[in-house]
Amino acid sequence: MLEQQLESIEQEAISTLDNVDDAEALETWRVANLGRSSPLMGVFDQLGQLPKEERPAIGRLANQVKQSLESKHAGKVEFLKLADLRRSLETEQLDVTLPGRNIPIGRLHPITQTLRQIYQIFAEMGFQVYQSRDVETDEYNFQLLNFPPHHPAREMQDSFYIEGEFDDENPVLLRTHTSPGQIHAMREYAEENPHDPPPIRIILPGMCYRHEQVTTRAESQFTQVEGLAVGKDITFSDLKGTLSDFNKRMFGMQVRSRFRASHFPFTEPSAEVDIECFVCGGKGCPVCKRTGWLEILGCGMVHPIVLQNGGYDPKIYTGFAFGMGPERITMLRYRVEDIRYFWANDLRFLEQF
Ligand code: DAH
């Protein structure tokens, strides 16, 4: 009797398990078939009422059914877990072909790029970078560079003056060019050995300031790179060689340079240097205004008074100096039409470099 009952309990349980397809239904099944008040547990309860000799056989059988149902239950638990995983893999697919989000990469300002190229070229020729101050006295910015007070050459460089309790004869201003760094550098080098000062080969980069009408060609703030070489037996041909070579390395090996006589108070003789227009190769085009030449920098042999002011005896030492504008060079190279773009901080412009 009980044997048949156990058999049908088992078959019934197995057949209903087939219909179970989620965790909730499985739990209901477990309670119904293996729980305290399940028919199977009822059989265990009845064991005590059986004649002694029948108990072991029925007990063993009941245990087998219990173990069989427990293992079917465990199998179903695993089965449902796998089904769940398969479902989530299908519905929550990660699309690895989706394009990633760009991380914007910063870049160097176009003027910084030009400056670094200039440093590189002069470094290869043995010039070190010398940093000088942005705030200067009239003495350094003008007087020691052989611009006497009221000299008309000052008119080219209208200045921003700093308010304060300064000497009327020597006001404080924002430097209008990098040339005052020449005096600082010479004085610093000369201090090392005043009777036989060491030779100098430096470039002096930095921001300059002029109180000017701001136009497409002139800004109130711009960079310059000054150069200074001082030593014994430095001649104008050293100047020509150095700057012609610089122009070739900067603008292309085929580029020719032209030196035109000019005037600066702190150099004598003075020159302006042009390069053959790299846009039209010298034939004449709108960039070179049909002249075939582009003005690149000013230069000259350091004036004896300036050498003297720097602590170098002009009877023993000579030197050359030059000054160029990285904005102008960058404008020519990339045909930038308005100098104001450089410091206006507009990413639409800056991102093009
Ligand atoms: N200081 C000059 C200017 O700002 C540029 C210059 C010209 C610098 C000739 C020099 C030089 O050292 O020799 O206009």
232: number of Cβ within 10 Å = 10
The CA 206 to ligand 1 mean position distance, Å, reads 13
CA pair distance 18, 20, nearest whole angstrom: 6
pLDDT, position 157: 75
110 touches ligand 1 (CB under 6 Å): no
pLDDT, position 206: 98
Residue bearing the CA closest to ligand 1, atom 6: 323
Which of 245, 257, 252, 296 is CA-nearest to residue 278? 252
pLDDT, position 29: 94
159 touches ligand 1 (CB under 6 Å): no
Contact 267, 301 (CB under 8 A): yes
Residue bearing the CA closest to ligand 1, atom 8: 323
State which of 141, 322, 324, 329 you would mutate to test the pocket of ligand 1, scoring each by most atoms of that ligand within 8 A of its C-beta. 322
295 touches ligand 1 (CB under 6 Å): no
Query: Which ligand 1 atom sits closest to the C-alpha of 302?
Result: 13
The CA 301 to ligand 1 mean position distance, Å, reads 11
> Could you give the C-alpha distances from 122 to 131, 220, 286, 306, in angstroms and in order?
15, 27, 30, 23
269 upstream amide cis, omega within 30 of 0: yes
pLDDT, position 331: 95
pLDDT, position 94: 82
DSSP 8-state assignment for residue 164? S
pLDDT, position 168: 85
Task: For the chain, 353 residues long, give each residue's pLDDT as a single digit of tens.
Answer: 788 989 999 999 999 999 999 999 999 999 999 999 999 998 888 888 888 888 888 999 999 999 999 999 999 999 999 999 999 888 888 888 889 899 988 999 999 999 999 999 999 999 999 999 999 999 999 999 999 888 887 777 788 999 999 888 899 999 999 999 999 999 999 999 999 999 999 999 999 999 989 999 999 999 999 999 999 999 999 999 999 999 999 999 999 999 999 999 999 999 999 999 988 999 999 989 999 999 999 999 999 999 999 999 999 999 999 999 999 999 999 999 999 999 999 999 999 99
229 touches ligand 1 (CB under 6 Å): no
Query: Which ligand 1 atom sits closest to the C-alpha of 227?
Result: 12
Residue bearing the CA closest to ligand 1, atom 3: 177
CA pair distance 83, 22, nearest whole angstrom: 9
Pairing relationship of beta strands 267-276 and 257-264 according to DSSP bridges: antiparallel
